Structures are given as C-alpha cells and as structure tokens.
Amino acid sequence: MKLFHYEQKLCDSFLLYLLQSLMAVRKVRCPQCGEDALWAPENPHRPFCSLRCKQIDLGCWASDEYRIPVAPDNNDLGSEIPDATNHA
C-alpha cells in the first residue's frame, strides 16, 4: 500500500517533468506581442500566438513603414519648374 503510493507519486512527478519539457519545446515567443505562443499543429498562426498578431505583423510589412522610400514626385516637380519658366 505504502509502496504503491510511492510509485504512484514517482510516476506523477515523471509525467509532470515530461509534460513540462514537452511544453517548453512547444512554446515560442510571439514576435508581435512577446507572449508565449504554442508551436504546434493546433496553432496555425505560429510563430505568432494568435491570428490578430499575425495580421498586425503582415500589416506592418505592407505599410509604408517597411517600404524603401522613393521620391519620383520631387523629380517631376523639379523638371516642371524650368519648363514653366520657359513658357513665361
């Protein structure tokens, strides 16, 4: 009876250790919010923690913040000024 209890306890702690090590491997840090994100087939948005974070990140890449700045308008304006003076 006493032995059984000890073995049961040992088994529980081993399972807990196994579960914890498994959880540690399957968790990553969400690149968007820094929260723990599940790295598993259950999380289709990995490495993000949720669809919201995934969409925010994709939105950033599509926005002007991440684009290489190009200024074709300035060139057009520059060529228009001498043209206007020629007419006048």
Interacting residues toward Zn ion by CB under 5 A: 30, 32-33, 35, 49, 53
CB of 1 to Zn ion, least distance (A): 49
For residue 39, give every residue at least 6 positions away whose Cβ sits within 8 Å of its Cβ, in sequence order, or none.
25, 26, 27, 28, 46, 47
Q: Judging by beta carbons within 10 Å of its beta carbon (0-12, 13-18, 19+), is residue 46 exposed, middle or buried?
A: middle
CB of 38 to Zn ion, least distance (A): 11
CB of 65 to Zn ion, least distance (A): 19
Q: Which is nearer to Zn ion, 7 or 35 (CB)?
A: 35
